[in-house]
Amino acid sequence: MPECFLFVGNPGVGKSTILNGLISEPRFKSGFSPGQGMTSVLQCEEKGGKFYMDTPGLADVEKRRIAAKEIEKALKQDGDYRIFFVLTLESGRVRPQDKATMELVLQAAPCIGHKYGILFNKVSKRAQEEITQNPARADPSPRDVLLTHLFSGNLPVTTAIHYNPNDDDLEDAMNVVKPLRPELVRFIQGLPVICINSRKVKAIEADQQRQLELMKAKRRKLQEIQENQQRLQVELAQARQQLHRGPKALSEVRVGDRVLSVDQRGRICFDDVYFFGHASPTETATYHCICTASGRMLRVSSMHFVACPRSTTSSWKATTFEYAKDVCPGHCVWVEVRGELVAEVVTTVSCSLALGLFNPYTLTGTLIVDGVVASAHSDWLLDDFCPRRCVGWLPATYQALFLPGRLLYRGLGSMAADVLDVNNPQNNHEKKVGTSPRAFAFLLALSVVPVATTGALLHQVL
């Protein structure tokens, strides 16, 4: 059977130049070609009983269908193949069209599996150093990040990867022949041979658009997951520095501490406590104990708001807020499971008396207590006048009213809470925010928020 060296890649990656250097003759067209690749059909050259194949690129829009047929033709020679995908980096990243080409070819010939080589060509000196040496000792290394992105999805993983440095002498040179670096020659000749039966090769999809759209969607999802994980890792490290003794009881939390919370998009994060509506270690209160199917238990006062999804399949956007006293078995609440929000069914609800009453407010307006999501807000000024059907809007209304308090915290930090006596502990253990003399000044500051804000919110739901 013939022995074939097949090079696959999009226009401009340098396949033809590599082949010319490999056979030491200028048989393959190479050089500057604006708007399209130099190779438009399969070019196969024989030397020393071996066949060297240069294929057109699928990213060439005008010749895409022809290129697909030519690559399919190259794979149907019934021979022993060494298959190389030639890629170039763009700002240190794999180009989407190069990855799409790899996926299309490997899907058409699944018998290739992981027995192929990847040749990163024209690698800049800086990228070569970062990828191969990792001088900054980054963890994960730039090489690991690059390959993780490349093999994300359905690509079979290969370990045959080579990084070929950029050669300025070959830039846009026409049909030039220059000996390849010895390490590149060893890489090409050392790749294991794979036998491909033409009957096992399927047609290659000529249209890359759908493939690229799927890849982009996967990449966006992967990037969102990675960013969320990185954000949680950073915030977790910061929180551990502040709460190095591990989880704290609410009685031990102070203004400026960061506690587990949920942002507006439903992502778990660490958030600042910026004041306490109530902080009384000596007051006895009636608590509602809300237990979930997994055994989580939230203990809150009866008029505290709890985040309740409509069902176990609901998204965060479908969350409503209910008084703890109105939450019953069969309702759902949000719980934190390994850094993600999960809706769980409430199994039992009970009441008990307990010593201590603490109400920390976070910048996002939510907090996670014992693994269960609750609002930072409880009943206050508007509850007695609010129709039952509008109760779910009250936490958002109170969050808007407390904007000046958040701005005050942003500017002065925990000092503002100490001066206004809204930190933990408090000198005056009144039952409602704003009834102590200093906290009254805090409430007065809130009056700068136009009353129209509250009126507009209530008007929408009425």
DSSP 35-60: TS-S--S-EEEEETTEEEEE---TT-
Instruction: Count CA atoms closer than 13 A to 74's CA, side-chain side.
Output: 30
Q: How confident is the model at residue 216 (pLDDT cuts 50, 70, 90)?
A: low
Residue type at 201 in one-letter notation: V
**Dist. CA 145–CA 455, nearest whole Å:** 51
Instruction: Kindly state the tokens that stand for 456.
Output: 């507009």
Instruction: Kindly state the tokens that stand for 392.
Output: 């779910």
Q: What is the mean pLDDT of residues 110-118?
A: 92
Instruction: Identify the CA nearest to 259 among candidates 31, 457, 424.
Output: 424
Could you tell me if 296 and 344 are in contact, meaning their C-beta atoms sit under 8 angstroms apart?
yes
pLDDT attached to residue 85: 94
Phi/psi of residue 411, each to 5°?
-85, -40
pLDDT attached to residue 145: 86
pLDDT at 130 over 60: yes
pLDDT averaged over every residue in the chain: 81
Q: What is the mean pLDDT of residues 221-240?
A: 58
pLDDT 10s digits, 311-338: 999 999 999 999 999 999 999 999 998 8
pLDDT attached to residue 81: 93
Q: How confident is the model at residue 59 (pLDDT cuts 50, 70, 90)?
A: low
Instruction: Identify the CA nearest to 204 among candidates 76, 96, 104, 66.
Output: 104
Per DSSP, the residues of 136-195 read: T--SS-HHHHHHHHHHSSSPPP-S-EEEEEP-GGGTT-SS---PPPHHHHHHHHHSPPEE
pLDDT at 183 over 90: yes
**CATH number, span 3-207:** 3.40.50
Q: What is the mean pLDDT of residues 428-445?
A: 50
pLDDT attached to residue 191: 93
**Dist. CA 76–CA 188, nearest whole Å:** 21
CB atoms under 10 Å from CB of 98, counted, come to 25
pLDDT 10s digits, 342-383: 999 999 999 888 778 889 999 999 999 989 999 999 998 899
pLDDT attached to residue 240: 44
pLDDT at 105 over 70: yes
Instruction: Identify the CA nearest to 11 among candidates 47, 60, 71, 54.
Output: 60
Q: Which CATH topology does 249-461 take?
A: Endonuclease - Pi-scei; Chain A, domain 1 (2.170.16)
Is 258 strand, coil or helix? strand
pLDDT at 438 over 70: no
Q: What is the mean pLDDT of residues 405-420?
A: 89
